């Protein structure tokens, strides 16, 4: 792939699924927010500050094989990474674009995919400063996001909409719809040997207690939990308010889209283009101010 030969400020991994609904979501992102300037795509020979890649596992509906449709998509778009792992089966009624829980096997699968993404990104992009994990049901105002990113420190960064973990261990984590880590912070996650051993094992209900030990029932909680366990002294929490990073439908951070919105999550298929029509011409924004106190940075509204 051409992108392996280039250096990027940030690489953005989006775990997705080899089914038609998710395929449409990938198409909608590619034709809207990934059309902003400075996004590296096949159409511009993968030049730009931000590269977006989709990360997939083998889905049960395809007999745990990659579909011919996905193979064609990967050949055409050249932005797909296929992992040597099986997708977890969904065991709940949660639907795409809605708040909820997919069931233990699917959620652990997402956590494993996210870990493998971080591990791959460190290896494939040795000169990249920041590594993100996002969702395919979100819209990102890339010019504003990159303008803000360029004002942040190059080390210690853990950026997103902050939430608190549940259970006996108290920790904070960034919601997985859009979380950005500097390279050194990603290393703290990937280099956790106990987590690595667990992630490399196939899913089993018998390992539920082990999954609980790293909060692997949600991939974003897993990252925050491992960083808490690492006691990494260089960690800087970069906190977004709900005015800028928010959901559009069905969750505690639901909010209407406004001029301050940067990352909008839990959107419907028809809303990608509406958001692009609203924000598509805003390609040279001014970076947002932020305040800093000790190891916490908070962007203004």
| Tokens found for residue 103 | 């069931």
Residue 86 has pLDDT above 70, yes or no: yes
Q: Is 173 exposed, middle or buried (0-12, 13-18, 19+ CB in 10 A)?
A: buried
Q: Look at residue 184 in the predicted model and tell me its pLDDT.
A: 98
Q: What is the largest CA-CA distance in the chain?
A: 52
Residue 164 has pLDDT above 50, yes or no: yes
Q: Does the CA dihedral 101-175-111-295 come out positive or negative?
A: negative
- For helices 104-124 and 183-190, the axis angle rounded to 10 degrees is 130
Residue 253 has pLDDT above 90, yes or no: no
Residue 45 has pLDDT above 50, yes or no: yes
Span of 4-8, 192-196, 224-228, 288-292 with lowest mean pLDDT: 4-8
Mean pLDDT for 225-252 is 94
Strands (E), 16-156: 39-40, 50-58, 80-86, 130-134, 138-140
Q: Look at residue 102 in the predicted model and tell me its pLDDT.
A: 54
Tally Cβ neighbours within 10 Å of residue 124.
15
Instruction: Provide the residue range defining the domain that includes 135.
Output: 3-299
180's enclosing H/E stretch is strand 178-182
Span of 27-41, 85-99, 150-164 with lowest mean pLDDT: 85-99
Mean pLDDT over all residues of the chain? 93
What is the number of structural domains in the chain?
1
Residue 210 has pLDDT above 70, yes or no: yes
Nearest 5°: the CA angle 86, 198, 183 is 90
Q: Which CATH number fits the domain that encloses residue 277?
A: 3.90.550.50
Percent of the chain, pLDDT > 90? 82
158's enclosing H/E stretch is strand 157-164
pLDDT band with cut points at 50, 70 and 90 for residue 97: very low
Report the predicted TM-score, pTM, of the whole model to 2 decimal places.
Answer: 0.93
């Amino acid at each position: 792939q051409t992108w392996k030969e280039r250096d990027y400020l940030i690489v953005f991994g989006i775990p997705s699924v080899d089914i038609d609904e998710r395929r449409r979501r990938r198409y909608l992102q590619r034709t809207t927010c990934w059309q902003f300037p400075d996004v590296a795509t096949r159409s511009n020979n993968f030049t730009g500050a931000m590269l977006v890649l989709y990360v997939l596992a083998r889905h049960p509906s395809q007999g745990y094989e990659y579909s011919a449709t996905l193979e064609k998509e990967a050949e055409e778009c050249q932005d797909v990474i296929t992992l040597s792992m099986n997708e977890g089966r969904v065991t709940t009624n949660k639907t795409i674009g809605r708040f909820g829980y997919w069931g233990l096997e699917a959620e652990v699968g997402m956590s494993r995919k996210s870990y493998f993404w971080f591990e791959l990104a460190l290896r494939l992009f040795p000169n990249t400063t920041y590594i993100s994990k996002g969702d395919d049901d979100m819209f990102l105002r890339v010019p504003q996001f990159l303008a803000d990113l360029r004002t942040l420190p190059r080390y210690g960064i853990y950026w997103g909409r902050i939430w608190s973990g549940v259970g006996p261990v108290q920790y904070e984590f960034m919601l997985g719809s859009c979380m950005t880590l500097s390279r050194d912070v990603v290393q703290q996650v990937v280099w956790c040997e106990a987590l690595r051993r667990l992630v490399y094992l196939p899913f089993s209900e018998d390992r539920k207690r082990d999954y609980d030990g790293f909060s692997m029932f949600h991939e974003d909680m897993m990252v925050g939990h491992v960083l808490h366990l690492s006691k990494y002294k260089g960690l800087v929490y970069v906190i977004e308010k709900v005015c800028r990073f928010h959901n559009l439908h069905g969750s505690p951070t639901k909010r209407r889209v406004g001029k301050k919105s940067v990352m909008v999550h839990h959107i419907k298929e028809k809303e990608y283009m509406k958001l692009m029509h609203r924000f598509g011409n805003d390609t040279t924004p001014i970076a947002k101010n932020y305040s800093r106190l000790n190891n916490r940075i908070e962007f203004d509204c």
